[in-house]
Structure 1
């Protein structure tokens, strides 16, 4: 089976884990601090503004708490978003308000956002669909002007930029993912950055039980008294990363440019091979000044054949999917929104395999099988399979 997502873990990652084992410390320690500093350098921000978490979802929960949203407040997010973002909002007692998205990019436009903002809007969570930055610069400026706390879910956008500026640093807080299906894979884990150092300090407490600084040791690390005593400032969870994951993440981060280059080459090969398939729409080109992490490659077709095409591809050894389900259609969130552009995109879109381990033969097989499936399912809409 040709998978949609697949990590590339090799001898360097294994050797890095072995070093952690040899150190006899596998919890949060020096490797995690090194990974945080390296990721800050990747983003171009000060190291003290970056902290690791045990997952991007936990980062979203922490970020949502930092926004101050609660009962009576609204938090805007595009309906094509990861379920963790919706859960983070709902967990606070705030109301998730879903906005529409552009049917081709699956990112919200500024108009989509402004259409649902009200005086009760406290915050927004913005996803960069498939690694494409979208209108992040314009939306960030709008949020600053309105006093809306902006959280960037940059899980798909670890190497995406706008005019050289990294996605994830436009808003008040940004979060990233290193789970098994991302570009930088550590097995799990994530990062969080914040514009305000005070927010980072609060985030560190939220990530570790809400514990205040242990008071048993002085700044000079000299013994004082009862070093095991502590105070609790919030009832939060344990959300920290460890040195095993960080050791893998450090190697993967060092290989990131190589990964993104390969994914870009695969994207270009898809573009060339599928450009002449009737009835098939490819991802739109990036605006000037934007760069993508090439996390997803999505195609769009008549919704009457989309599911059948996915089934045919699966039977022929090509796994496809759609990311992400429209959250306004999830009953648990209680939304009554009608978002026609997103609903159209959700029905038409299919994500093809895209990862750095794909060979050119794999890509050619995917495109050949996709052509054949479209031809079988709708010969009146598609060109002949070649």
Structure 2
């Protein structure tokens, strides 16, 4: 991720190419939702909120995963703006939306990207129409079904890629493994919130495992490898050296990306992150940041931390107290150092990668944004 004399030229051309790709992705997404709306409407217009809330949440975002898929495709020799990689990008983005919907239910999050979470939107429908029964139960049930529908649609979108993503290809294997790993990682996340760790080192190892399987692999590693596998036509179980190089670069990138997210979940500005201040504290997230805080704190401080984590009505004053505890313990500085260590590995692996210079530059720019982001 070092500068060279060609950076200015690459910057302009890559920005233009990425803008074209994202425009193609948005167009594909618009057409896809239109076709799905016909399917749902034939069942009943009353079921359209399931789709409408998915479409609303899918609009915008960083498109990190789709872009990594695209540059994996290009890095492995795929044609510029080919329809296969646009459809694969759509499938990944839909899977991301499904994961967000279910994650917000699990975490009892009221907002997502500065707007009501999907289960809160269903709650608002229930309240507005003065329906019978529990508002909260209807909200959760509606959101679960929206998430399930979105998972189904991600499979529909990936199937439209065609032979390059068919059964027996490495691309299909990556897409299937990605989805299974996220579900397992999500379970490990909720398990960590209720199961006592034997010691701080065990808690740290558990948090690292959650980072890897709930987020890092599906956020960065699998999308990049998936794009490369689609372009190269790799057979299931037989990834090429280039695809392994993609993994070596993207896995530490994803881990650093999630560590940055964990910091923002405690210290991020609400107007930037779209989440309330200290939201991860209210949700009781047992992150690497929390594990290191426990390791570095006194018994009294650990008691304060554990008695506060997971309290949904945590006041701003209590959030600020916990922020000071985490920062004062040295945990924040340690996680920043871990991110720096990941950045060094990412940079080293990128330099070794056998790809065209413009692809290397594009991946380097994505890495910088992922590890330095504010939201």
Whether TM-score is above 0.5 comes out as no
More strand by share: 1
- With structure 2 as the length reference, what TM-score do the two structures score? 0.24
- With structure 1 as the length reference, what TM-score do the two structures score? 0.23
Of structures 1 and 2, the one with the larger relative CO (CA 8 A, separation 6+) is 1
